[in-house]
Structure 1
Amino acid sequence: MKTFCHLIGKYFGIIAVVFLILGMTVPDSFKWVVGNIGGIPVLSTLLGVIMFGMGTTLNLRDFALVLKRPVDVFVGVCAQYLIMPSLAFLLAMAFNLDPALTAGVVLVGTCPGGTSSNVITFMSKGDLALSVTMTSVSTLLSPILTPLITYQLIGQKIAFDPLGMFWSIIQIVIIPICLGLAVKALLPKLAEQATDYLPAVSAIAISLIIAGVIAVSRDNIVKTSGIILLVVICHNCLGYLLGFILARITGMSWKKAIALSVEVGMQNSGLATGLAKTHFTSMPMATVPGAIFSAWHNISGALLAWIFVNFLNPKYAPAEEEESVSSQA
Structure 2
Amino acid sequence: MTAQTTSQPIPMVVTDLIEDYLLVWILLSVGIGIAVPEVAVVTRASTVILAIMIGSISLTLSVGQFSQIRARTLGIVLVGHVTMPFLAFGVARGLGLSPELTVGFVILGAVTPELVTPVMTELAGGDTALSTTALVVIGVGSLGFLPAVVALLAGGIEVPTMPIIEQLVVAVVVPMLVAVGLRAWHPERVGAYDSYYPAISATMVILIIGGVTAANAATIQSNLSLLVGVGSGVVILNALGYGVGFVLSRGTSRPTRIASILSIGMRDFAVAAALVIAAGLPTIASLPAVAFGVVEMTTSAGLARWFGGTD
Corresponding residue number in structure 2 for 1:6: 16
For 1:181, the aligned partner's letter is V
Q: Give the aligned CA root-mean-square deviation in angstroms.
A: 1.7
2:66–2:129 CA contact under 8 A, matched in 1: no
Distance 1:81 1:268 in 2: 15
How many residue pairs match? The answer is 298
Q: How does 1:24-103 map to 2 (within 5 A)?
A: 24-28=34-38, 30-35=39-44, 42-66=45-69, 69-82=70-83, 84-103=84-103
1:65–1:133 CA contact under 8 A, matched in 2: no
Distance 1:280 1:252 in 2: 42
CA shift for structure 1 position 275: 1.7
Q: How does 1:1-329 map to 2 (within 5 A)?
A: 1-28=11-38, 30-35=39-44, 42-66=45-69, 69-82=70-83, 84-154=84-154, 157-222=156-221, 223=223, 224-248=226-250, 251-281=251-281, 283-310=282-309, 313-314=310-311
What are the ranges of 5 or more consecutive residues in structure 2 without an aligned counterpart?
A: 1-10
Q: How many percent identity over aligned positions? A: 27
Deviates more, 1:202-211 or 1:7-16: 7-16
* 1:236-275 deviations in Å (ceiling 9; x for gaps): 1221122112211xx2122211110000011122221122
Distance 2:228 2:195 in 1: 37
1:53–1:202 CA contact under 8 A, matched in 2: yes
Distance 1:252 1:76 in 2: 12
* 1:89-128 deviations in Å (ceiling 9; x for gaps): 1101111110111111110001111222111111211111
Corresponding residue number in structure 2 for 1:323: none
* 1:221-243 deviations in Å (ceiling 9; x for gaps): 24114211111111112211221
For 2:139, the aligned partner's letter is T
For 2:228, the aligned partner's letter is G
1:160–1:279 CA contact under 8 A, matched in 2: no
Distance 1:308 1:76 in 2: 18
For 2:122, the aligned partner's letter is F
Distance 1:204 1:52 in 2: 13
2:32–2:210 CA contact under 8 A, matched in 1: yes
Deviates more, 1:225-234 or 1:211-220: 225-234
1:209–1:291 CA contact under 8 A, matched in 2: no
CA shift for structure 1 position 193: 2.8
2:63–2:184 CA contact under 8 A, matched in 1: no
TM-score (norm 1): 0.86
CA shift for structure 1 position 85: 0.9
* 1:207-233 deviations in Å (ceiling 9; x for gaps): 111111111111212411421111111
Helix, strand or coil at the partner of 2:129: helix
